[in-house]
Structure 1
């Protein structure tokens, strides 16, 4: 609205037409505050962000279309087209970033203070229809043979893509012909995903409460389970098949065959030591029913010998 003040129809009584205009007579510029740096070749313009960027000062995302008051300055020429540079301040921090025009590629370039969010791709890789370049258009206008070959290639490509387009159309009709059914399937999927997320959050909160922790848990993946299993196995000594078989056999032999006994391998070793100290090689047991004494040899192992069971040698 400021520039309209110099073009209104009111002229004060002391106005002198020889001054060259109202702005010159009043000593102001038509752009008012936007021209406060015009002596440096800078004017203030309203600049709209052409793409998404990341501010390097606060690492915040700035979306495409956000507007700033930018200092516009001419920094060079591309043939007969001027190259402009825009300097603006981030609205979230004190960082300034510079963006300049690139007339050769019809693009903007981030000079400093920010980095562009890369969303660019080659449209020919996903079979998009792209406009012809200027070189191709010039050859189509000048070279008749190239124009004929180009048209033939386009027709062949259209015939090849026709089958794919028909399949995509049929699939779209099959999936979305019934809007109610498609909506129900989509809502069921969202509902299941939402319930899974709630269950996962509840499980994580219970684990954190049980462990008295206040950290952020990452989702559990299969690779982490496998790595944890490998690390837990490394803590145990590695045994080959023969040693493992021998260990299992020894455990089976040392176990009691009676359910209510407390005789163990440790007690066996203790008993053997006592027998060696007393130099007793044989035990003589008297049968209460028979008055004839009987001699019994001590077995090399007491495992399986539980008090009342005796081995008679005739």
Structure 2
């Protein structure tokens, strides 16, 4: 690079080094070009690299070690004969500036303003590291022979104490010889953990989308798992069990409803067993089946004379004296009035017609039985 620059320099034909001096002096610029634009103030522009990690006070962003800046270098003092320099540079993430200064006494750099250092320092004595001697100890070793002898004996004692640990390190060195296999195991472990983390994140994301939530999920604990196990958001019985339970309820329910809403046909009345029960008992039983409740104040559909006639043994003579149509018409009228007085007003007309037809069929059955008795 230097050879190329030297060869490619341009010298004007009217340039005389004896009279005009150097080419830069003739042109009127510094050899360092723009880097020396503040040289009159004692400032030189250099390329500075951060010696450690810092935090910028302007934007509170971390700046890593090794980041390079165009810094203004300026001499601010001396430590004995060693100069102390200060470097001022602008943060690449914001418009603030920070300054770093050399510390020859401690062989370090110090942040003056505009930033703060990320503390990653430790005591080398606690880490059992090799600590170089300071200036005072080195001067004493050079001038005092007795101190040098004592210092040497202390070093020999330290080496004897460190021999077992050194031998152990040399013995365990063979375990770390196959670095490829160890790196492979470390990579596989890292990948498995990474996949588990990604699967967990995907599950959390799906749960948030399903619930339409925009919150941050925390790690679940054993107490949360136990509490979630006690909660159930489903029915205690299955579909088949529910169907069986409903079927049992339907089977245990009476065929004729309590309010007489069940449809009763003529065939069901005709299938009732014929026994020697009185007509009043049969009618009362049929009313109970149809859901007709007659209060104590409601008169019976049969008159007292008819009740006495039913109780007398000579049914044939009484029946012959009463016309058949008149008896049926009276019974039908009285029963219709009773049903109309005890039925709710909002019932369907079809239910009333069915009940009235059932009663008519019952009365006709009684009439036929009476005719057969007369014959």
TM-score class, shorter:
0.5 to 0.7
1:158-215 CA-to-partner distances (Å, cap 9, x unmatched) read 2222222223333343x43556764564345334423431342233224323432223
Are the aligned partners of 1:70 and 1:86 in contact in 2 as well (CA < 8 Å)? yes
Q: Report the equivalent of 2:92.
A: 91
* CA–CA separation in structure 2 for the residues paired with 1:181 and 1:27: 64
Return closer, same or farther for 1:75/1:137 CA change in 2, 3 Å cut-off.
Answer: closer
| Bigger Rg, which one | 2
**How far is the alpha carbon of 1:150 from its aligned partner?**
1.7
Q: Report the equivalent of 2:212.
A: 212
RMSD: 3.1
Please, what TM-score do these two structures have when normalized by structure 1?
0.60
Q: Does 1:139 align with 2:140?
A: yes
3-state SS of 1:29 partner? coil
Are the aligned partners of 2:11 and 2:23 in contact in 1 as well (CA < 8 Å)? no
Q: What are the within-5 Å matches in structure 2 for residues 147-166 of structure 1?
A: 147-166=148-167
**How far is the alpha carbon of 1:143 from its aligned partner?**
2.2
**How far is the alpha carbon of 1:126 from its aligned partner?**
0.8
1:40-93 CA-to-partner distances (Å, cap 9, x unmatched) read 222211212222222222233322222211111222222222222111112222
Which structure has more strand as a fraction of its residues? 1
Are the aligned partners of 1:16 and 1:25 in contact in 2 as well (CA < 8 Å)? no
Which structure has more helix as a fraction of its residues? 2
Q: What are the within-5 Å matches in structure 2 for residues 20-99 of structure 1?
A: 20-99=21-100
Q: Report the equivalent of 2:106.
A: 105
**How far is the alpha carbon of 1:128 from its aligned partner?**
0.8
Moved more, 207-216 or 88-97: 207-216
Please, what TM-score do these two structures have when normalized by structure 2?
0.51
* CA–CA separation in structure 2 for the residues paired with 1:181 and 1:10: 63
**How many residues in Structure 1 have an aligned counterpart in Structure 2?**
222
Q: Report the equivalent of 1:196.
A: 196
**How far is the alpha carbon of 1:154 from its aligned partner?**
1.6
Are the aligned partners of 2:50 and 2:66 in contact in 1 as well (CA < 8 Å)? yes
* CA–CA separation in structure 2 for the residues paired with 1:167 and 1:116: 38
3-state SS of 2:99 partner? strand
1:7-64 CA-to-partner distances (Å, cap 9, x unmatched) read 9572441657444433333322222211211222222112122222222222333222
1:114-161 CA-to-partner distances (Å, cap 9, x unmatched) read 222222111111111122222222222222222222222222222222
* CA–CA separation in structure 2 for the residues paired with 1:178 and 1:120: 32
* CA–CA separation in structure 2 for the residues paired with 1:168 and 1:14: 70
Return closer, same or farther for 1:12/1:53 CA change in 2, 3 Å cut-off.
Answer: farther
1:83-116 CA-to-partner distances (Å, cap 9, x unmatched) read 2211111222212111112222222111112222
Are the aligned partners of 1:88 and 1:97 in contact in 2 as well (CA < 8 Å)? yes
* CA–CA separation in structure 1 for the residues paired with 2:125 and 2:218: 38
